[in-house]
Amino acid sequence: MRPDRFGDPAAVRALVGRIGRLAEGLPRRVTFMEVCGTHTHAIAAAGLRRLLPSRVRLIAGPGCPVCVTPVGYVDRAEALARRPDVIVTTFGDLVRVPSSHGSLERCRAEGADVRVVYSPRDALAIAREHPRRTVVFLGVGFETTTPTVAAALAEAEASGVPNFRVLAGHKVMPPPMRALARDPAVQVDGFLLPGHVSVIVGARAFEFVSSELSRAAVVVGFAPTDVLQGVEALVRQAVEGRAEVENLYTRVVTPEGNLAARAVVDRFFEPADAVWRGLGLIPGSGLALRGAFAHRDAGLVEVEVCEPVEPRGCRCGDVLKGVIDPPECPLFGTVCTPAAPVGACMVSNEGSCAAWFRHGA
């Protein structure tokens, strides 16, 4: 643990003590959910769950964009990659996500041109280098990464690169939070809001959590003290019978967010229904390319895609909903490991299963 003001062991102990004393005033056990993969990883790495009192349960939600990407999306990406006139570009984690009958990694081993890039602009550069082939960027991510894809699209439009396309798999966080708050199987009392997403959309974007869902919510950073301060605030609200949205990450997050980033996203994308692994079809939870940019939409490229098949025995869906903890999946740590993942939650560093496997319960 870092010996600074955000990870100082003495500060952590003090916060844990305050949370424990506050929790004595709770009428029942409460459950709070983090909806950010970086939070999931940070919480597991610092061992914060085991420091909390028994009346405070912290569960992971659908905060990992790779994890919530449905099998059907990966199947379509594979089908595109098998076309000889297509180069598929993607961030590294998605390459190893299981599809219905393999993965992009296996597809590449069989001869498909699948390339790992570090940004959408890298994919755009490949499109410039290969003008006779269609270069598809797999656009998977939440509000944090979507602006970078929109910026690459703007550059492609401005510089006249006709062979750059995006397979849109972008998602937005408010709709699944609504679904989870209303799901009786989950019973969430409050949320630790995603810090990175909040930088883009602003803290005000989550006011619906209190006004519409009557739940408490706190925007927090990623250091141990950030997270524990958020838990303390949620416990205090539960004890006092309040349901408010608090921003404890004011050093980074503003009420309105990044207006320039949101504007470039709005130029190219519009709300759309989207399928989430474990949560199913959620209205308005995705982003699709606007009709004016159909020539950039890789989803319109004709390919043959079979009915998606989920990995047998995998309970990633229940993990993403917070219904079970990763070790409760019968595949966890046996046939499903980071070296040989069966489910998407074991692939990404931000996945709940990968975090639990690497850092323990």
Same domain, 263 and 158: yes
Residue 195 belongs to some domain of the structure: yes
In this structure, the answer to whether residues 207 and 335 fall within a common structural domain is no
Give the per-residue pLDDT at 6.
60
Residue at 242 is within a domain: yes
Low-confidence residues in the chain, pLDDT < 50: 1-3
Same domain, 184 and 153: no
Counted domains in the chain: 3
Task: Identify the pLDDT of residue 360.
Answer: 74
Amino acid identity of residue 113, one-letter, is D
* 15, 232 Cβ separation under 8 angstroms: yes
CA distances from 284 to 102, 272, 274, 288, 351 (A): 29, 5, 7, 10, 24
Same domain, 285 and 155: yes
Structural domain contains residue 240: yes
Q: Based on the domain organization, do 144 and 210 belong to the same domain?
A: no
Tokens of 216: 């408490």
- 159 lies in some domain: yes
Q: Kindly state whether residue 303 falls inside one of the protein's structural domains.
A: no
Q: Are residues 177 and 163 in the same domain?
A: no
Instruction: Yes or no: say if 194 and 220 are a contact pair by the CB < 8 Å rule.
Output: no
What's 297's DSSP letter? B
Interatomic CA distance for residues 322 and 272, integer angstroms: 25
CATH number at residue 140: 3.40.50.11740
Residue 26 makes CB contacts below 8 A (sequence gap 6+) with: 55, 56, 235, 238, 239
Per-residue pLDDT at 2: 42
What's the CATH number where 200 sits?
3.40.50.11750
pLDDT of 4: 53
Q: Which domain holds residue 197?
A: 9-63+173-247
Position 311 in a domain: no
Residues 73 and 159 placed together within one structural domain of the fold: yes
- Are 151 and 268 part of one and the same domain? yes
Distance CA 134, CA 345 (A): 30
Cβ contacts of 59 within 8 Å, gap of 6 or more: 31, 32, 33, 34, 188, 322, 325
Quick one: 331 and 283 in the same domain? no
The upper half-sphere exposure of residue 52, i.e. CA atoms within 13 Å in the direction of its Cβ, equals 28
In a domain, 162, yes or no: yes
Number of Cα atoms under 13 Å in the Cβ half of residue 71? 20
Residues 213 and 225 in one domain: yes
Q: Give the per-residue pLDDT at 5.
A: 58
Query: Taking the CA atoms of the chain, what radius of gyration do you get in angstroms?
Result: 21
Does residue 90 belong to any structural domain of this protein?
yes
Burial 78-104 (b: 16+ CB within 10 A, else e): bbbbbbeebbbbbbebbbbbbbbeebb
- Asked if 13 contacts 23 with a C-beta cutoff of 8 angstroms, the reply is no
Segment 257-283, tens digit of pLDDT? 999 999 999 999 999 999 999 899 999
Strand 269-276 versus strand 280-289 pairing type: antiparallel
| Whether residues 183 and 324 fall in one domain | no
308 DSSP assignment? P
Please list, in sequence order, all residues whose beta carbon lies within 8 angstroms of the beta carbon of residue 214, skipping any fewer than 6 positions away. 243
Using DSSP's 3-state secondary structure scheme, residue 124 falls into: helix
In this structure, the answer to whether residues 165 and 35 fall within a common structural domain is: no
